[in-house]
Structure 1
């Protein structure tokens, strides 16, 4: 099939490359000419395991190419995936839909009868129905569907090629049949294909992210109670996670969530519920957001205590800049929020990350950066472990102790082995684990 993908950011690039790898002919569209040029050479706009190899393979095969012309895209295929961003509006927390609206309008200007526009962007419930009404008025015979993405950064290629489920919101049996054909290899392999209406498809994405955010903030709230009572949050999380009704996933106590999805999506969901007169139904999401933000403040306070009460003129080493491992995404990164807070309180901060240094340097020029862990930790008065990259668990504490000024470490992600670090002479603190102190 001939597909187009409008928007070649994180979601769009992964979707375009994976659809081409499945055998479709794909045309990716972006207004950024430099990005289009880089993609045409097989260079992705972000770090994602496995993406570069697929991109090079599909570009070289001729099944995937890129353009800046949405008119060309409208003529190229009959199924058009909209993968543009929906950032948060600063004043209200609601989603900014202008990029989605512009993409659909741009397609409509050149779309032929029978064209299907498929939204993958995360939007407030009701958006798809409104866009469908406008599209069908402009192009009789066209249709619109919604197909939310459920990608985990660091696992996006796997999640696209072997998803846990496919959700499509459609208005016609023809649209459902078209999407079944697009995803035929996955459906044949047994991936559940859930066909529903537009509103339910939109809500599946928002509800999923809200539930995941709730689990993360729940265990972090429990970590505060653990600190007040002397309990251990890791044992608590293991015990409640063994209940089959709860499960262990997303019960990892630590610095909280960040990135481009969970924070903005729960705020946008809250804003939309209030517009619908049902704000009380999701009022708890404001508390979820507050708990998550408070984790960053707790980490800053704990680091300050390790320094004797002040960051002024102290050297702080930060391990991690990306909001999660296996990504170079720094959007709403808890790690960088803590690093920036320490710098603003008078510390000299040096940050290391395996993939995100360039992005972090551009966004936080006042911070210092290092390309290896040892350099980042030279003469440090405290080391802050803020992103759970696996290579940080492999650090030799005894060797690192020889380069720091004071062997103090905050494990804000609760993934380091405290026994090993303490045996090497380190003072280790971890959120929700007061017995380590």
Structure 2
């Protein structure tokens, strides 16, 4: 089937490449000629394991191409996936929909035959219905809007697109052509449905709420264990063992119960804030008031690690030499958007320390956000003459470290495990001062 994908960032580029992998004829569209040129050359402009192979394979078959030309895209297909970003508004909690609106406002007048716009982006509830009206007001042909939210995990995006946990499709059932939309989307995902991936058909509002509700739940689970971690710190209990015990309860599960520095990235923080903002607009702000505390707990963990670093340096960070291992918000990603690791590095520098950061994939992105930090090309370079070492992203390279790896280069044998990913017994037995979050 012929389809287009608008937006070639993390979501759009992944979706375009994976739709081609499923056998469809795909055009990826973006207003940024630099992104388009890179993708057309088979280069993914961000780090995502496995994606470049999928991209290059489908460029070679001719099933996938990229363009900046909206008219080309409008003529190419009747199915247009919307995968642009919905960042947090500056100075507000709400989502900025300017990129979503720009695609619809540009595409709709160019359509020459009935078409559908299928949203993948995370948007406030009510957006899809409003976009349907907006698109039809500007188009001379019939335009249907449906919502098919993504559930991608950075580091596993290809897997999550080609073999997702579920497919959700929201339709405007009052529209006469909703059956056409459903049938078309079923054909696009025929291989996934044949593989018995659950296919859930909903109304537009439910489909929009599924994604933000999922992110709000995950954020709540992470902040819950971090709140318990604070109690563990006050009592001498071990939050890791506590989480293991909780995880055996099938109603709770162990995933997302890792206490530590907290969540970040381009989804969870801005999505729960947008959820709060939209709920307030709908008069239901009391229903999600707890998310404000979820956000507060998460941000408090960052300050906690800065305080731990100061204590490790004798009470003051002024003039201290601090090594930060990790800049991406999670391993297997180069994404530093709202990264707890990079945020902590910046705060420590503001307290007067000399901070050197190393990350296997995210150094260049970090340099653009925090150009005043020092950046290293290896663990040993970052830890050279360090007064304290902070492990803030749980890359395998860091979790595999041993005291013997760092003994020759550090000035003081002190380590803060911001992700509780190291063996505290091993480090203490080697004479290091080890500090974790929520662990004795």
TM-score clears 0.5: yes
Alpha-carbon distance in 1 for matches of 2:110, 2:405: 63
The aligned residue for residue 175 of structure 2 is: none
Say yes or no: does 1:273 pair with 2:279: yes
- Deviates further, 156-165 or 421-430: 421-430
What per-residue deviation string (whole Å, max 9, x for no partner) do you get for residues 124-178 of structure 1?
A: 0001001111223333422110010000000001000000000010121111111
The aligned residue for residue 142 of structure 2 is: 141
What per-residue deviation string (whole Å, max 9, x for no partner) do you get for residues 13-65 of structure 1?
A: 00000111111010000111111111100001110000111111111111110
How far apart are 1:288 and its partner, in Å? 0.3
SS at match of 1:43: coil
The aligned residue for residue 419 of structure 1 is: 425
What per-residue deviation string (whole Å, max 9, x for no partner) do you get for residues 301-343 of structure 1?
A: 1111111101111110000000000000000000001100111
- Deviates further, 218-227 or 104-113: 104-113
- Map of 1:146-157 to 2, 5 A cutoff? 146-157=147-158
Say yes or no: does 1:235 pair with 2:217: no
The aligned residue for residue 181 of structure 2 is: 175
Q: Is the 8 A contact 1:401 1:426 kept in 2?
A: no
The aligned residue for residue 389 of structure 1 is: 395
TM-score using structure 1 length = 0.98
Alpha-carbon distance in 2 for matches of 1:311, 1:53: 45
How far apart are 1:399 and its partner, in Å? 2.7
Say yes or no: does 1:125 pair with 2:125: yes
Q: Is the 8 A contact 1:71 1:109 kept in 2?
A: no
Runs in 1 of length 4+ with deviation above 6 angstroms? none
Q: Is the 8 A contact 1:93 1:271 kept in 2?
A: yes
The aligned residue for residue 405 of structure 1 is: 411
Alpha-carbon distance in 2 for matches of 1:162, 1:122: 20
Alpha-carbon distance in 1 for matches of 2:95, 2:413: 44
Alpha-carbon distance in 1 for matches of 2:194, 2:130: 33
Alpha-carbon distance in 2 for matches of 1:112, 1:401: 68
What per-residue deviation string (whole Å, max 9, x for no partner) do you get for residues 233-276 of structure 1?
A: 00111111111111111101000000000000000000000000
Alpha-carbon distance in 2 for matches of 1:102, 1:63: 26
How far apart are 1:111 and its partner, in Å? 1.4
Alpha-carbon distance in 2 for matches of 1:111, 1:432: 57
The aligned residue for residue 94 of structure 1 is: 94
How far apart are 1:416 and its partner, in Å? 0.4
Q: Is the 8 A contact 2:95 2:274 kept in 1?
A: yes
Alpha-carbon distance in 2 for matches of 1:397, 1:340: 26
Q: Is the 8 A contact 2:78 2:113 kept in 1?
A: no
- Deviates further, 397-406 or 407-416: 397-406
- Map of 1:371-386 to 2, 5 A cutoff? 371-386=377-392
Gaps of 5+ in 1: none
Alpha-carbon distance in 2 for matches of 1:177, 1:423: 63
Alpha-carbon distance in 2 for matches of 1:269, 1:355: 31
SS at match of 1:35: helix
The aligned residue for residue 366 of structure 1 is: 372
Alpha-carbon distance in 2 for matches of 1:193, 1:48: 26
How far apart are 1:394 and its partner, in Å? 1.2
Gaps of 5+ in 2: 173-177
Q: Is the 8 A contact 1:112 1:142 kept in 2?
A: no
The aligned residue for residue 357 of structure 2 is: 351
SS at match of 2:330: coil
Q: How many residues align?
A: 434
- Map of 1:150-229 to 2, 5 A cutoff? 150-171=151-172, 172-229=178-235
Alpha-carbon distance in 2 for matches of 1:364, 1:156: 27
SS at match of 1:168: strand
Alpha-carbon distance in 1 for matches of 2:415, 2:150: 37
The aligned residue for residue 48 of structure 1 is: 48
The aligned residue for residue 250 of structure 1 is: 256
Say yes or no: does 1:75 pair with 2:75: yes
Q: Is the 8 A contact 1:320 1:335 kept in 2?
A: yes
Q: Is the 8 A contact 2:48 2:333 kept in 1?
A: yes
How far apart are 1:388 and its partner, in Å? 0.6
Alpha-carbon distance in 2 for matches of 1:366, 1:72: 43
SS at match of 1:173: helix
Q: Is the 8 A contact 2:243 2:254 kept in 1?
A: yes
Alpha-carbon distance in 2 for matches of 1:112, 1:168: 25
How far apart are 1:290 and its partner, in Å? 0.3
SS at match of 1:428: strand
Q: Is the 8 A contact 1:351 1:368 kept in 2?
A: yes
How far apart are 1:220 and its partner, in Å? 0.2
How far apart are 1:113 and its partner, in Å? 2.8
How far apart are 1:403 and its partner, in Å? 0.6
Q: 1:259 aligns with which of 244, 260, 265?
A: 265
Q: 2:292 aligns with which of 281, 286, 297?
A: 286
Say yes or no: does 1:27 pair with 2:27: yes
SS at match of 1:383: strand
SS at match of 2:110: coil
SS at match of 1:213: helix
The aligned residue for residue 39 of structure 1 is: 39
